[in-house]
């Protein structure tokens, strides 16, 4: 019988900005044991993929691991795949960045391991039909995708024991289908069962190739997997031994060898897609739940003939679901254009590297865990974006500078206004409440407004149902049938959902009976139409300063009558200054006096704000955590500070009129491997006043924000 080939592709990744201890633990529990197993089983010949952030960390902290890997490559046992260096979702990048990142990775592999990669790993296996062209231009000859992509165009499992050729504008690419069955079986099903399935396929598809590509972290890093894979159970060694003992009918070979020798089975054009779970996660919450029910029903009925055509949404839908994802993505496009206009040289190369690091995919989507809700990952992405833009701006402008940039930055059909100085970058959305949606502090390489709006997620339905049916399981409690683990009692009562985007300089008119608790829960009566409605923008630029004037004439309900009110806010920045001035002016346009409760909301994105490193100071000597819920009257000064060593700094606010302060944490209820938990995403501050607004007598207040770096605030 002609031997069948098994091609294993193992993908090892840690994102830009992840904690050192996670890198170290992953190396110790997953990456090291895999190399050791391959050293013990020389006939097992897989392809491995390491992402750039992981390679960078290993180069500094674990060069011995890379040396062992180099030995396996040199003896022909391991093939290394290329990719975009910092593991971005490739479809989200301009073509120049796609090609540039892949060439960077291929160059690293060539110089460090002496190999010429021909295959590429695609982050999250996200595919769109235009990809063959940039991949081919970067020197890639083949890639692998989930079998889901192929089944959506009518192929079955029996059609996937070989590659297909696809193209874009005549640029060709071989594509292999990775078996979902093998992805779920290795290393979870008994070794004998996996080998039995492979034997059946070898008899049915002699000379074919079965492909399995998946995350290396599941081989030891995921909870419970180290003991299963490498401990007493020793699943991986038993599996590798079984592969070696089956050499008469099965060969394990790197996928690149197969691609070079095996003729494609035919031509194919694949639709936009990713792995099955990702496409479900991309759906809105109700559809996420509905698709899960539909799939379970079809599986129970054995309708595999229908299931292969049932799919979820597109990866790009995350940019529609999360304003924060879209903001970061479109800022990356904005910065990319600036960086690519820089003159060639060392500074441009450094700026490109920061830009590419900012494109690392983990902060641009969300599944069941982590993703955009991982605060430290968002911080890292923004840090690199801010660094790249500063390099590009300094190359184009003498220091200091203050200028205005205008354009549809976030691609929503409306113009944004960017106030850009050598110290700060502020992004305003006149179309959405005249809100400040990004505030970059260049000295700290930090976006001060890096928060998350509280949203419904598809998996919240599971939590609510389990609470209703008494199936919640706390730490230390005995498991119950269909139990749902939670890390604290009553967490289902913390599902607060915001009706507007959490940003800064949001203008509220509150009902006089609104309480802090009601505002915290987003269950209150908004009396005005200013929070998310358009403002008119006017920009003034002078020598060394920029001023943005925003104004809206709207209505505010006072009892049973609506009063016409004009809100004006002026924002001023100076070149070389770390201060920001904001001036508010309210004018009564109605036919009589009005008593109003007016508030200005700012949402602060200070990572670690729920720890001892985050501080909210409302009076000298009176310090609170940023995760506290509270209020204070007669506030004239307010300090928001971080004591984290790498980000230490503070924003000091002074007011021309004392205000009442409400403050509370913004927390997402997210799933994790240990159960549902609250995850800190920022702090909301609302400064409000009781305003007696007379006809012909405007009311005003002025804010002065001062950014102070660590050296100025050591205490």
How many domains does the chain fold into? 3
For residue 256, which of 536, 570, 8 has the smallest C-alpha distance? Answer: 8
Mark 292-310 as b/e (b = at least 16 C-beta within 10 Å). Answer: beebeeeeeeeeeeebbeb
The answer to the question of residue 333 being in a domain is no
Determine contact, residues 318/325, Cβ cutoff 8 Å: yes
Can you list the residues of the chain whose pLDDT is less than 50? 711-715
Same domain, 113 and 243: yes
Looking at the chain, the whole-number percentage of residues with pLDDT higher than 90 is 88
pLDDT of amino acid 491: 95
In whole angstroms, what separates CA 253 from the centre of its chain? 34
Task: Tell which phi-psi region holds residue 316, choosing left (phi > 0), alpha (psi between -120 and 50) or beta.
Answer: alpha
**Which residue segment(s) compose the domain that 200 sits in?**
4-269
pLDDT of amino acid 710: 66
Residue 711 burial (CB count, 10 A): 8
Mark 679-689 as b/e (b = at least 16 C-beta within 10 Å). Answer: bbbbbbbbbbb
Same domain, 474 and 552: no
For residue 319, which of 495, 496, 91 has the smallest C-alpha distance? Answer: 91
pLDDT of amino acid 674: 78
The answer to the question of residue 289 being in a domain is no
Same domain, 569 and 696: yes
- Annotation says 215 is catalytic: yes
The answer to the question of residue 320 being in a domain is no
- From 167, 168, 215, 702, the catalytic residue: 215
- Dihedral of alpha carbons 466, 471, 476, 479, sign: negative
Same domain, 481 and 601: no
Same domain, 21 and 116: yes
Same domain, 172 and 235: yes
Same domain, 261 and 157: yes
User: Environment class of residue 204 by beta-carbon count within 10 Å: exposed (0-12), middle (13-18) or buried (19+)?
Assistant: exposed
Domain containing residue 49: CATH number:
3.20.110.20
SS3 of 681-701: the string is: EEEEEEEEEEEEEEECECEEE
The answer to the question of residue 375 being in a domain is no
Same domain, 126 and 212: yes
pLDDT of amino acid 712: 40
Determine contact, residues 15/56, Cβ cutoff 8 Å: no
- Report DSSP state, residue 82: B
pLDDT of amino acid 369: 74
Residues 622-645 have pLDDT tens digits of 789 999 999 999 999 999 999 988
Domain containing residue 645: CATH number:
2.70.98.10
- Report DSSP state, residue 528: B
CA 540 – CA 581 distance, rounded (Å): 14
- From 56, 87, 124, 650, the catalytic residue: 124
Beta strand segments in 530-625, E: 536-542, 545-558, 561-574, 579-588, 594-604, 614-619, 622-624
The answer to the question of residue 399 being in a domain is no
CA 1 – CA 128 distance, rounded (Å): 38
- Tell me which of 269, 300, 326 is where a domain ends: 269
Same domain, 473 and 555: no
Same domain, 572 and 483: no
- Annotation says 628 is catalytic: no
């Amino acid at each position: 019988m002609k031997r069948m080939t098994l091609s294993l592709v193992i993908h090892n990744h840690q994102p830009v900005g992840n904690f050192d201890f996670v890198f170290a633990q992953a190396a110790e529990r997953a990456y090291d044991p895999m190399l050791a197993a391959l050293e013990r089983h020389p006939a097992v010949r897989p392809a491995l993929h390491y992402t750039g952030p992981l390679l960078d960390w290993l180069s500094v902290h674990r060069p011995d691991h890379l040396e062992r890997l180099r030995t396996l490559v040199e003896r022909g046992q391991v093939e290394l795949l290329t990719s975009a260096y910092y593991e971005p979702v490739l479809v989200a990048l301009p073509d120049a960045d796609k090609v540039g990142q892949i060439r960077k990775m291929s160059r690293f592999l060539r110089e460090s391991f002496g190999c010429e990669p021909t295959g590429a790993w695609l982050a999250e296996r996200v595919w769109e039909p235009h990809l063959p062209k940039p991949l081919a231009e970067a020197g890639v000859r083949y890639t692998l995708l989930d079998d889901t992509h192929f089944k959506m165009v009518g192929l079955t499992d029996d059609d996937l024991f070989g590659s297909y050729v696809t193209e874009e504008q005549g640029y060709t690419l071989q594509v292999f289908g990775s078996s979902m069955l093998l992805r779920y079986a290795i290393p979870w099903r008994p070794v004998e069962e996996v080998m039995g399935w492979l034997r059946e396929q070898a008899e049915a598809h002699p000379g074919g190739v079965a492909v399995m590509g998946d995350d290396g972290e599941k081989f030891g890093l995921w909870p419970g997997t180290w003991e299963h894979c490498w401990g007493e159970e020793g699943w991986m060694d038993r599996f590798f031994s079984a592969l070696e003992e089956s050499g008469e009918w099965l060969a394990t070979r790197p996928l690149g060898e197969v691609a070079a020798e095996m003729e494609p089975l035919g031509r194919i054009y694949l639709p936009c897609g990713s792995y099955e779970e990702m496409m479900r996660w991309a759906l809105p919450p109700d559809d996420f739940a509905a698709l899960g029910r539909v799939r379970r029903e079809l599986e129970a009925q054995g309708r595999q003939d229908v299931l292969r055509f049932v799919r979820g949404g597109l990866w790009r839908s995350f940019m529609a679901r999360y304003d924060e994802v879209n903001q970061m993505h479109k800022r990356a496009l904005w910065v990319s254009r600036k960086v690519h206009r820089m003159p060639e040289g060392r500074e441009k190369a450094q700026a490109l590297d920061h830009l590419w690091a900012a494109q690392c995919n983990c902060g641009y989507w969300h599944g069941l865990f982590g993703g955009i809700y991982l605060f430290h990952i968002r911080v890292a992405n923004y840090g690199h974006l801010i660094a790249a833009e500063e390099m590009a701006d300094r190359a184009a402008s003498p220091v200091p500078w203050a200028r205005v940039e205008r354009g549809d930055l976030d691609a929503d059909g409306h113009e944004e206004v960017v106030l850009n100085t050598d110290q700060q970058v502020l992004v305003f959305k006149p179309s959405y409440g005249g809100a400040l949606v990004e505030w970059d502090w260049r000295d700290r390489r930090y976006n001060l407004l890096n928060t998350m709006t509280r949203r419904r997620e598809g998996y919240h339905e599971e939590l609510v149902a389990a609470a209703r049916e008494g199936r919640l399981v706390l730490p230390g409690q005995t498991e119950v049938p269909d139990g749902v683990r939670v890390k604290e009692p009553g967490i289902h009562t913390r599902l607060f959902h915001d009706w507007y985007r959490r940003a800064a300089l949001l203008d509220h008119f509150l009902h006089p009976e609104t309480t802090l608790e009601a505002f915290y829960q987003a269950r209150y009566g908004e009396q005005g139409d200013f929070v998310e409605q358009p403002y008119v923008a006017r920009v003034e630029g002078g020598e060394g300063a920029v001023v943005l004037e925003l104004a809206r004439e709207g209505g505010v309900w006072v009892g049973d009558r609506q009063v016409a009110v004009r809100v004006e806010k002026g924002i001023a920045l100076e070149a070389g200054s770390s201060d920001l001035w904001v001036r508010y002016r309210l004018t009564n346009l109605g036919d009589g006096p009005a008593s109003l409760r007016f508030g200005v909301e700012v949402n602060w994105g200070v990572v670690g704000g729920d720890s001892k490193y985050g501080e909210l100071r409302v009076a000298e000597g009176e310090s609170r955590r940023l995760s506290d819920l509270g209020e204070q009257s007669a506030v004239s000064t307010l300090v928001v500070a971080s004591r984290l060593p790498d980000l230490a700094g503070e924003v000091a606010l002074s007011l021309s009129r004392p205000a009442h302060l409400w403050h509370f944490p913004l927390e997402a209820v997210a799933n994790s491997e240990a159960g549902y938990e609250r995850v800190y995403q920022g702090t909301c501050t609302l400064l409000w006043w009781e305003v007696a607004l007379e006809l012909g007598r405007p009311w005003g207040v002025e804010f002065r924000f001062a950014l102070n770096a660590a050296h100025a605030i050591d205490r």
